[in-house]
């Protein structure tokens, strides 16, 4: 895990959640630009997962594998599922789904950092 990537990931998740919250308050559905924002968050999450995998494979960092990689897998599938749901649901609830998913991914990223640090 890389701290700069974690901070970027959490900041992007919060920004996406706030953007979705604005749409919830305005009673609007998710727009395509928000889904592109979710794709950017997903891209950063994939980079973070690759960095963690490389660091775990090349060092003797003893992280709890099933727990850590379970969090990674959950975070990786959450936004695509939320984006598909938001694309199909054309009401304000699509914005609620995107908001909750982005906040959840940010929390999962923070938990991955805690698990990673506990192994140090």
Count CB-CB contacts under 10 A for residue 80: 14
Confidence (pTM) = 0.91
Cβ atoms of 23 and 95 within 8 Å: the answer is yes
How far apart CA 89 and CA 7 sit, in angstroms, is 31
Percentage above 90 pLDDT, the chain: 78
The arithmetic mean of pLDDT across residues 102-111, rounded, is: 96
Q: Comparing C-alpha atoms, which of 23, 44, 55, 35 is closest to residue 119?
A: 55
74, with CB counted inside 10 A (0-12, 13-18, 19+), is middle
- In the chain, the percentage of residues whose pLDDT exceeds 70 is 98
Span 65-79, pLDDT tens digits: 899 999 999 999 999
């Amino acid at each position: 895990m890389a701290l700069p990537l974690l901070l970027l990931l959490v900041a992007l998740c919060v920004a996406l959640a706030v953007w979705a919250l604005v749409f919830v308050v305005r009673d609007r559905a998710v727009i395509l630009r928000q889904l592109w924002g979710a794709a950017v968050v997903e891209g950063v999450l994939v980079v973070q997962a690759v960095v963690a995998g490389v660091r775990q494979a090349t060092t003797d960092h003893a992280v709890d594998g099933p727990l850590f990689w379970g969090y990674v897998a959950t975070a990786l599938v959450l936004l695509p599922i939320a984006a598909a749901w938001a694309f199909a649901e054309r009401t304000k609830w699509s914005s609620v789904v995107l908001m909750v998913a982005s906040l959840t991914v940010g929390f999962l990223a923070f938990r991955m950092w805690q698990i990673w640090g506990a192994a140090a």
